[in-house]
Structure 1
């Protein structure tokens, strides 16, 4: 599976406005809730429960908030860009700019882990991160990811 197989254009937000973690999660979840028909607040609650275990701000300006929902039929993947950066309680203590939101059905652990690993590998590539930081549209993000979106 490729990232672009599951990343829906309407779930790509290139101008996140929020300045804190809960605001960012609310922004990222809005299109995911519309796409899936799942309650917005349920999605945010699951993500915040995961954040309490440890921040999904992995450092290097990257956050990968993720969680599992039992009433979700298929996974949802979203992307967000915060141009000013947000305190996402990242491991390196620095602001977070690039976000991938991943919410999967409760019993899809293998797929959940594979997609987390794929996104993490993709974001380790500095030139790709730099291009994403400059993107101004969902189409640009799709093109950037598509250049390096190999099957896993």
Structure 2
């Protein structure tokens, strides 16, 4: 799978081979509002406060979770899945100078790695997604919506400081 940047505002799409799984589009880049349609379900993500370090996840118009950054630079994603279980993940960079990320579950198991590949023509980063561990409680495509947004939020917060 690949996460491909489609715009300078952070919008991206996820492809499996040549088939598009979903797109996340920023409806208001300045305010950090984004939306994606996955299996005909609308997912909206928007900042909760003025400083934009925490965002809320809405699905079907209902708040189901949050994405935020902790003091140590790790992104925390938590949301309630379709079965009503609260899922928690941590997204972190895998190297100080690198643009790669890894996603871990609550048990500190690496679920996926996102390996950056720079496209100098676009001046944007694309990512190859490598799944390391299969969690049956997680819809990987839905989780990738949140992971992609969290990576963009991480870059925006760390480049502003």
* TM-score for both structures, normalised by structure 2: 0.33
When Rg is computed on C-alpha atoms for both structures, the one with the higher figure is: 2
More helix by share: 1
More strand by share: 2
* TM-score for both structures, normalised by structure 1: 0.34
